[in-house]
Amino acid sequence: MSAPRVVITGLGVVAPGGVGTKAFWHLITAGRTATRPITAFDAAAFRSRIAAEVDFEAAQAELSHRERRRLDRAAQFALVATREAIADGGLEPDRFDPTRVGVSLGTAVGATCNLESEYLALSDTGREWVLDHRYASPHLYDYFMPGSMAAEIAAECNAQGPVTVVSAGCTSGLDAVGHAADLIREGAADVMVTGGTDAPISPITVACFDAIRATSPSNDDAAHALRPFDRTRNGFVLGEGAATLLLETEEHARARGARIYAEIAGFASRSNAYHMTGLRPDGAEMAAAITAALAESRRSPQSIDYVNAHGTATKQNDRHETAALKRALGPHAYRTPVSSIKSMIGHSLGAIGSIEIAACTLALDQGVVPPTANLREPDPELDLDYVPLHAREQRLDTVLSVGSGFGGFQSAIVLTRLGTGPA
Amino acid sequence: MTTAVITGIGVAAPNGAGTENFWAATLRGESGIGPIRRFDTRGYPARLGGEIDDFDPAEHLPRRLLPQTDRMTQLALTASAWALADSGVAPGTYDPGETGVAMAGAFGGFEYGQRELENLWCSGPERVSVYMSFAWFYAVNTGQLSIRHVLRGPAGVVVGDQAGGLDAVAQARRNIRKGARLMLSGGFDSSFCPYGWVARISDGTLSTDEDPRTAYLPFDLRARGQVPGEGGAVLVVEEAAAARRRGTRIYGEIAGYAATFDAAARYGGERGLGRAVEAALADAGVTAREVGVVFADGSGRPADDRAEAETIAAVFGPQGVPVTVPKTMTGRMSSGGAPVDLAGALLAMRDGLIPPTVNVRTVAPGARLDLVTGVPRPWQPGPALVLARGRGGFNSAMVLRPGTAAPNRTGAASVTGREAPTRSGGKRHEADDTVGPGGDHA
């Protein structure tokens, strides 16, 4: 028996620049940026004082008081994105077997906002090492153990199959979707609610990236701070958000008459076994992940019509990634549009991989390649077609999305228009 | 389908750091639970824990790794070296691209995190460690293990509370099936710091009993909560044919696995553990009758224990299978707990001895369990079932089979018992595909 095809039938996005899939797609195809000075807290003491924040109040108002009280911002994002994906996919509660529905949710830093704010209450703003438990939120354990976020989504969707959080740093969002596809293929579930979420714009996370100078110090020009593949690039801008995808077997989708956006044809992850934060310039392991994902999807490198890049605009990432694409795709790399939507919505750590898959899904569906914003001065070292500034209309059948994260994780996922590849 | 076998074990647990230390203590019924010493617990309603005392990371790891790692990463790195040494896999046996890591963690490196939060809020952003960006996050152990042992293949990290430890090992099997030859897998947690402790207190599951002998009594009439432990285990998971080619000892096979989730209250609240057990047995092609032992989750909370006991009795019949909770000697190690139970089950197969559930004397009325209490019980090794549940509704079940089955074996037949293993505890049982003890405990 051959493994079932895994298809995407629903999308939900919470991203900087506007909550909801429509607003997200409009922003990234217009080439507008959502990076700005941090408003979440007073960032005056930090090196990088900019971020791509989600204007969440309106969407948050749709949550119940209890949900707002109980859930960390990241879990709230995931819940809002999931509700949109379920509605978009038309998955009605009485139309599926809950034991055949699972959840795979990516997050890199979990409930870091609430962990930090709770810490301040418990420690009297850091003054006490032995914390006073009487000031703890009754939900503190849920913030501490981010599996709780997947549990929240499972409760929302009545999922009673396999439920997990995937936390592989900045590839979490991509790996969670790949994991969900794996579970469907091996028969553990017919439907997976999957995606990623992170809300890392808090002092401790900003300080972490300050310490290693990974984030952009272009504080005076926030809108143009994240410049992937540009000669003047100087790091990423922290973002936040979530995306949820509804995955199911093609058979399940057809049986309920669902609209099918695309197929998830292949996925692979690799470690570079090199450095927790550093990348070797040759891109060998990312290339290995791409090659393995292509093999699983039974596609050739020449079939790739578009690459959604990791594109964080750190010096070494963009070099590493360009080398990896050349290594995996050969001369075809030069003919393939490659773009980084992080230029517009920032780097939301464990969420971005799934937001990028949502972008790839829409790119396939709409026949539009989103651009790399802020790419005005090409880096002579980086010689691929990075789709600067403006979106392109182009029929797409097969797209590749890649991710790279602290810990040395390298991941690749291949999406196709259904019915365009080998049987 | 490709078979995944376990060829190496590395355990760091409160009753023993080092696999044989842990196992010898476990068979002796020695507990590592006691008053917490690493921070001041005065004023907290729960003050007992399973701490690993005899572990100095500087004895095991290069000096440069110490300032960049939380304790749970130091434990994982050390145990991973023990597991690889135990497996006898020589460097260069495999291409680095066909070797990978799949680990579970529930809390990340939170002792490290608390220290850096203090630095940030007392001294300012410039005092936050350059290692903080990765030392506390949940993916750190997979990254550090891949670097330390140059494993460039598949990488994975799952978080599912106590159940995550089984989910990670299932992911290792998945990657073996997709073409990897060797995976390091397991889980670790510690967070034995004030913040980790306060978070656990907020969970409401901790026992407030101050007597280490009675604080954590799963399935007992007197059960009143759990005691946390730190630690975990790393297993070397290998593709069976490759392991056989290099002629190594095979502890057992990852024969079956399933994960389910309890229905939310608004959807009726039905528990999902029974489905996980049934599906894991079906995946393994093992009948309930063939299972020789169940390593139970043993939450220590009466309602959870009752539900688990009912599930076990429903699948195996009343008193139908030996059940044990050696976690009574370690405390519940979050994502490390289930991998240590997998290690315990494999060592129980090796030595023909089921480790006991210590301190439990009177099984709660209605729990129709054959609980192994007091001293180890000799058994004829057969398939073992390991259960793990996580807060919020996670259920995972894994079936291990001793020795290895021939790769072309079809159908649901159990292993063919041609030779009984030794029952003398401590003597090694060299299992391979010619030795497959039958599981006819019934």
**Two structure tokens written together for A367:** 């026949």
Residue A131, burial from CB neighbour count under 10 angstroms (0-12, 13-18, 19+): buried
Domains A6-255 and A267-416 share a fold: yes
- Residues B48, B78, single domain; the answer is yes
In a domain, B407, yes or no: no
| Domain termination residue (choose one: B203, B224, B245) | B245
pLDDT tens digit string along B167-214? 999 999 999 999 999 999 999 999 999 999 999 999 999 999 999 999
Nearest to B275 among A99, A126, A288 (CB): A99
Can you give the pLDDT at residue A93? Answer: 75
pLDDT of residue B54: 86
Q: pTM here?
A: 0.94
Residues B49 and B210 sit within 8 Å (Cβ to Cβ): no
Q: Would the CB atoms of B117 and A127 count as touching at under 8 Å?
A: no
Range of the domain at B143: 4-245
Give residue for tokens 């090794």: B381
Q: Does residue A26 have an active-site annotation?
A: no
Beta strands in B217-351 (DSSP E): 231-239, 252-261, 293-295, 322-324
β A398-405/A306-308 pair status: parallel
Mean pLDDT of chain B: 91
Same domain for B226 and B267, yes or no, is no
- Distance between CA B390 and CA B162 in Å, rounded? 5
What is the CATH classification number for the domain harbouring B321? 3.40.47.10
Task: For residue B278, give the DSSP letter.
Answer: H
CB A312 within 8 A of CB A347: yes
Per residue in B100-144, pLDDT (tens digit) is 999 999 999 999 999 999 999 999 999 999 999 999 999 999 999
How far apart are the CA of A361 and the nearest CA of chain B, in angstroms? 24
| Residues B223 and B101 both lie in one domain | yes
DSSP H or E run through A293: helix A284-297
Q: What span, in angstroms and rounded, lies between the C-alpha atoms of A373 and A224?
A: 8
Q: Which distant-in-sequence residues (6+ apart) come within 8 Å of A28 by Cβ?
A: A341, A344, A345, A359, A370, A371, A391
**Residue segments in chain A with a per-residue pLDDT below the cut of 50:** none
- Is B434's pLDDT higher than 60? no
Identify the pLDDT of residue A1: 56
Angstrom CA distances, B387 to A39, A97, A391, B274, stand at 46, 24, 51, 10
8 Å CB contact between A256 and A94: no
Q: Which of B193, B213, B245 is the last residue of a domain?
A: B245
Instruction: Determine the distance in angstroms separating the CA of B83 from the nearest CA of chain A, rounded to an integer.
Output: 18
How far CA A381 is from CA of A394, A417, B200, B368, B431, in Å, comes to: 27, 33, 51, 70, 56
My answer on whether B10 and B156 are in the same domain is: yes
Q: Which residues contact B130 (CB under 8 A, 6 or more apart)?
A: A211, A212
For residue B43, being part of any structural domain is answered with yes
Give residue B425's pLDDT.
35
* Catalytic annotation, pick one of A113, A157, A170, A360: A170
Cβ–Cβ gap B134/A168 under 8 Å:
no
Cβ contact, residue pair B202, A120, below 8 Å: no
Q: Is B75 in the same domain as B110?
A: yes
Q: How far apart are CA B151 and CA B353, in angstroms?
A: 34
Per-residue confidence (pLDDT) for residue B386, from 0 to 100:
98
CB B316 within 8 Å of CB B288:
yes
- Residue A47, Cβ neighbours under 10 Å: how many? 18
Residues B359 and B307 reside in one and the same domain: yes
Grade residue B404 by pLDDT with cuts at 50, 70 and 90. low
CB-CB neighbors (< 8 A) of B203 in chain A: 140-141
Q: Quick one: B208 and B339 in the same domain?
A: no
Query: Which CATH number fits the domain A6-255, given the four candidates 3.40.50.20, 3.40.50.720, 3.40.1160.10, 3.40.47.10?
Result: 3.40.47.10
Encode pLDDT of B41-59 as tens digits: 999 999 999 999 989 999 9
Q: Which CATH class is domain A267-416?
A: alpha beta
Token pair recorded at residue A76: 């709230």
User: B107–A99: do the CB atoms touch at under 8 Å?
Assistant: no
Residue B125 sits at φ, ψ, to 5 deg, of: -55, -35
Q: What is the pLDDT of residue A95?
A: 83
- B237 and B338 fall within a common domain: no
* Domains in chain B, number: 2
The yes-or-no answer on residue A157 being catalytic is no
Q: Is A273 within 8 Å of B147 when comparing Cβ atoms?
A: yes
The domain boundary, picked from B186, B213, B245, lies at B245
- The predicted model gives B245-257 an average pLDDT of 96
Residue B426 pLDDT: 35
A347 included as an active-site residue = yes
Residue B250 falls inside a structural domain = no
Where along chain A do its domains lie? Answer: 6-255, 267-416
Q: Answer whether A158 touches B (CB < 8 Å).
A: yes
Question: Does B161 share its domain with B295?
Answer: no
Closest partner residue to A207 among B44, B125, B160, by Cβ? B125
Q: Band the pLDDT of B417: cuts 50, 70, 90.
A: very low
Question: SS3 helix, strand, coil % of chain B, rounded to 5?
Answer: 35, 20, 45
Q: What is the pLDDT of residues B260-308, one digit of tens each?
A: 999 999 999 999 999 999 999 999 999 999 999 999 999 999 999 999 9
Let me know if residue B72 belongs to a domain.
yes
Residues B35 and B102 reside in one and the same domain: yes
Indicate if B85 and B174 belong to the same structural domain.
yes
Task: Report if residue B99 sits inside a domain.
Answer: yes
Query: Does residue B424 belong to any structural domain of this protein?
Result: no
Residue A262 structure tokens = 């695309």
Are residues B95 and B227 both part of a single domain? yes
Q: CA angle, B47 as apex, B46 and B53 as ends, to 5°?
A: 140
- Contact assessment for residue A195 and residue A293, using Cβ atoms and an 8 Å cutoff: no
Decide if B41 is inside a domain: yes
Q: What is the pLDDT of residue A2?
A: 80
